[in-house]
Amino acid sequence: FQTEMIDIIKSYNQDCCFSCRRISCFHHQPRVYPTQGISTQKSRDLNINMACEMSKTTRVSPVLRHLRKLQQNAKANNAPSDALIQIETCIDCIHARNDYCETISSPPSDVIDNIVTETETHPWQQVRDEGKVLSDVAPIMLSGALEGTFLKMLTGMSNAKRALEIGLLTGCSALSIAEALPADGEVVTCEISEYLASLARKLVDHSPHGKKIKIMTGPGTDCLQQMAKEGQKFDFVFIDADKPGYIRYYKIIMDNDMLTPRGTILVDNALYAGMSYLPQDKLQLSARFTTTNHVMREFNEYVYNDDRVSQVLLPIHDGVMIIRRKEAFEGTA
Ligand SMILES: C[S@@+](CC[C@H](N)C(=O)[O-])C[C@H]1O[C@@H](n2cnc3c(N)ncnc32)[C@H](O)[C@@H]1O
């Protein structure tokens, strides 16, 4: 898998920005490919992690996966060069659209930028092997600069004071939310891995907004049940942890009245790489990625059938669902 990913990275434009990987970035320094002044192990981790990151768009977009397959087949079968150029132009168009959105949006703070770089260079294989994180934890899970800016914008727009996150990773989304909260605001974030909780703590504390972040370590369900018992309420909730847990997390929050009357719930990966809306034979994903292909479809339907709320699913990145209480949505709260 990693060799395949490294092939993908090699096929990309090597002049893209080192920090954000955009070809037309004007927020960061020109990219230096990591061969000097960096240990061989770290360089290897960076290459592998960046290759995974590079494939992030491919992972979430079924269209891109089909185009890549078409490109491979065209090369293998010596298709006419104009056909190959057309396929590659389609791939470039998809990337250019994403790159443009990132480039023209406000840049992330330096601390968020640093979290992104640290996440990309972290020796994930080693920490996975040592059992310090779950076996699927990888930089591909990171929300990143654009989704971070989106979260920050939405948190600010919702006038939230108290926010809740399930799934911290290295702190990118928690800090994006914290940056938009007032000085006495708080983000409580739940993370199952103690290792990630302490790594994120160190990273977010480089920011003055880090003090607004409270990290709870343990399974999301336990953390939520404890907060529900304490009667805690939140204006803004971001669900971004294990997908099979989403219905459970949503139910605990809604059934225990943990969402304030005008509060907002944001749910990441609602499209789940196409698995929410495409049959297996159209996914162009290997079976090991599709063992839980039904879970987000079930979550989305659960919310759709819940009379207490109104929702909108936006096709941003891997799909973001925004949920509010019906009265707030209808303007009667
Ligand atoms: C997609 S990542 C979160 C990304 C992060 N929100 C961001 O945008 O940077 C999912 C995180 O959820 C954590 N996680 C997985 N299962 C969990 C559970 N049952 N309870 C709490 N956290 C969990 C993982 O360890 C991982 O750090």
Taking CA atoms only, the protein residue closest to ligand 1 atom 8 is: 143
Q: Is 97 helix (H, G, I), strand (E, B) or coil?
A: helix
CA of 246 to the centre of ligand 1 (A): 11
Strand-pair category, 259-268 with 309-314: unpaired
CA of 245 to the centre of ligand 1 (A): 11
Tell me the C-alpha distance between 34 and 18, whole Å.
Answer: 9
Taking CA atoms only, the protein residue closest to ligand 1 atom 11 is: 167
Taking CA atoms only, the protein residue closest to ligand 1 atom 10 is: 241
CA of 268 to the centre of ligand 1 (A): 11
Nearest 5 degrees, angle CA 173-CA 184-CA 179?
30
Tokens of 153: 């914008």
Nearest 5 degrees, angle CA 198-CA 46-CA 197?
10
Tell me the C-alpha distance between 31 and 14, whole Å.
Answer: 8
What does the chain come to in residues? 333
Q: What's the count of helices (H) and strands (E) in the chain, helices before strands?
A: 14, 7
What's the pLDDT at 161?
98
Residue (of 240, 253, 244) closest to 165 by Cα position:
240
Of ligand 1's listed atoms, the one at least distance from the Cα of 193 is 25
Q: Low-confidence residues of the chain, pLDDT below 50? A: 1-2, 8-19, 22-44, 46-54
Tokens of 278: 């495409």
Pocket of ligand 1 (CB under 6 A): 133-134, 137, 141-143, 166-169, 172-173, 190-193, 196, 219-220, 240-242, 245
What's the pLDDT at 54?
44
Classify burial at 98, counting beta carbons within 10 Å of its beta carbon; exposed 0-12, middle 13-18, buried 19 or more.
middle
CA of 66 to the centre of ligand 1 (A): 28
CA of 134 to the centre of ligand 1 (A): 9
| Residue 54: C-alpha distances to residues 10, 59, 99, 207 (Å) | 10, 9, 12, 27
Of ligand 1's listed atoms, the one at least distance from the Cα of 245 is 19
Taking CA atoms only, the protein residue closest to ligand 1 atom 13 is: 167
pTM: 0.86
CA of 319 to the centre of ligand 1 (A): 17
| Residue 331: C-alpha distances to residues 47, 177, 313, 324, 325 (Å) | 50, 25, 20, 11, 10
What's the pLDDT at 92?
92
Classify burial at 30, counting beta carbons within 10 Å of its beta carbon; exposed 0-12, middle 13-18, buried 19 or more.
exposed
Mutate to test the pocket of ligand 1, among 56, 134, 164 (most ligand atoms within 8 A of CB): 134
CA of 85 to the centre of ligand 1 (A): 39
SS (H, E, C) 244-295: HHHHHHHHHHHHCCCEEEEEEEEEECCCHHHCCCCCHHHCCCCHHHCCCCCH
Q: Is the ipTM of this complex over 0.95?
A: yes
Tokens of 32: 């230096």
Q: Name 165's bridge partners.
A: 189, 238
pLDDT tens-place string over residues 33-84:
333 344 444 444 544 444 444 467 777 899 999 999 999 999 999 999 999 9
What's the pLDDT at 63?
93
Name the one residue in this structure whose structure tokens are 């290459």. 47
Of ligand 1's listed atoms, the one at least distance from the Cα of 134 is 25
- Rounded to 5 degrees, φ, ψ at 250 are -60, -45
> From the CB of residue 48, how many other CB atoms can be counted at a distance below 10 Å?
22
